Amino acid sequence: MSDSSSLESIDSILETHIPPDKLKEVHRILYGGVPETLPLTDVQKSSANDLDLELKGYVFTAEPEQLRPPRLVRIGLVQNRIVASTDASVREQMSALHQRISDIVGIGAKAGVQIICFQETWPMPFAFCTRERLPWSEFSESAESGPTVRLCQRLAKTHSMIVITPILERDDETQLLWNTAVVINESGTIIGKSRKNHIPRTGDFNESTYYMESELGHQVFNTTYGKIAINICYGRHHPLNWMMFGLNGAEIVFNPSATIGSLSEPLWAIEARNAAIANSYFVAAINRVGTEIFPTEFTSGNALPAHKDLGEFYGSSYVAAPSGQRCPGLSRTRDGLLIAQLDLNQCRQVRDRWGFHMTARYSLYAQELNDYVNGHR
């Protein structure tokens, strides 16, 4: 197997080896053209450099309209590796990540970010490969009053920013675990939560050992800055999952993930962009970074020798627009903050231009799905 850990990004390869006069056409074909760069101040860049944080920004525009002003919103996507080793105490691991994310959010606030989203279950290592209950279940917390949620409420209120915080939830009443994203508005108030709709059962992704599929459906949250939804990780492989968020009115769908190169990297650049095109909304795809080594070896019934890591999380977070345009991704190997300014008017403009919603056959799909579900095939 080739070593991909030294590959910073596909974009860096393109920029290094393709002449500038050809690169623009390559970007047009691959990315629908690269959006304009969002100006960032020297102070913001210096602050990011002090944190060893990659900082990028892009602007997605819409056509000017006569009756509607631009609907501009600035979003932030955070990708990061764990800070403390997995054999440190639960409190030490979580506290180190809390501090790291707080520092990154501060940089986002200085750059005018209005909605920020972190990677899947960010306050902990992605330990579900191990199938061990302790200590990993101790990272779980209440979606109403847990330490990570309280921290994000403070960050949201301090920076007047909507915060989407994916956590391992421990339900207050049933004590069951869920893979959850809590949505906090700019005043620090919890406005809802979304749970993971699809749970993988492949390779070392042993997540159903800990939690099962959500029963909350496809919530869309109407916020000050637009209608947002969260499609957690493995749900990106299911086109109907994406479709339901669109039918429920989403304008931006965040996809916080934790996925590894050996499993999904060839799919990564395709799926979020396809969803944006098919459903006429923006998609923010976020993935964690690094290789997490666990204290005890594990196997997963897949004929592989016992091992201590899930694999390399390859970052590469990016934003895709309804038009099919996407920005270059963040690094495969570094912590990063990607800032994107979106004009949400593009959602309706693209829907009108392509007519995907108008020409869809929802009643026909519904009837045939009903027949399939009920065994009338």
**Three-state SS at 312:** strand
Q: Would you state the pLDDT for residue 302?
A: 81
pLDDT digits (tens, 9 = 90+) for 325-341: 999 999 999 999 999 99
What DSSP line would sit under 252-282, residue for residue?
EEEEEE--BHHHHHHHHHHHHHHHHHHHTSE
| Both tokens assigned to 302 | 């897949």
Residue 2, pLDDT > 60, answer: no
* 56 is an active site residue: no
* 157 is an active site residue: no
Active site residue: 54, 56, 117, 120, which one?
Answer: 120
- Specify whether the CB–CB gap between 107 and 48 falls below 8 A: yes
Give the pairing of strands 221-223 and 307-314.
Answer: unpaired
Active site residue: 129, 233, 327, 347, which one?
Answer: 233
The CA R_g of the chain, rounded to the nearest whole Å, is: 20
Unique residue bearing structure tokens 């392509």: 354
N-to-C CA span, the chain: 43
Q: Would you state the pLDDT for residue 46?
A: 97
Average pLDDT of the chain, as a whole number: 96
With bands split at pLDDT 50, 70 and 90, how would you rate the model's confidence at 1? Answer: very low
Q: Would you state the pLDDT for residue 5?
A: 63
* 22 is an active site residue: no
Residue 26, pLDDT > 60, answer: yes
| Both tokens assigned to 45 | 């860049």
| Both tokens assigned to 229 | 């939804």
With bands split at pLDDT 50, 70 and 90, how would you rate the model's confidence at 283? Answer: very high
Tell me which residue of 263, 262, 257, 311 sits closest to 288, measured CA to CA: 257
| 182, containing H or E segment | strand 177-184
Give the pairing of strands 282-287 and 252-257.
Answer: parallel
| Both tokens assigned to 372 | 């399939």
Q: Would you state the pLDDT for residue 301?
A: 78
Sheet holding 221-223, edge to edge: 221-223, 226-230, 252-257, 282-287, 318-320
Residue 316, pLDDT > 90, answer: yes
In angstroms, the Cα distances linking 27 to 71, 75, 247, 343 are 26, 23, 30, 21
Query: What distance in Å separates the CA atoms of residue 128 and residue 123, rounded to the nearest whole number?
Result: 14
Q: Would you state the pLDDT for residue 3?
A: 55
Q: Would you state the pLDDT for residue 6?
A: 74
Active site residue: 56, 117, 141, 196, which one?
Answer: 196
Tell me which residue of 365, 272, 280 sits closest to 326, measured CA to CA: 272
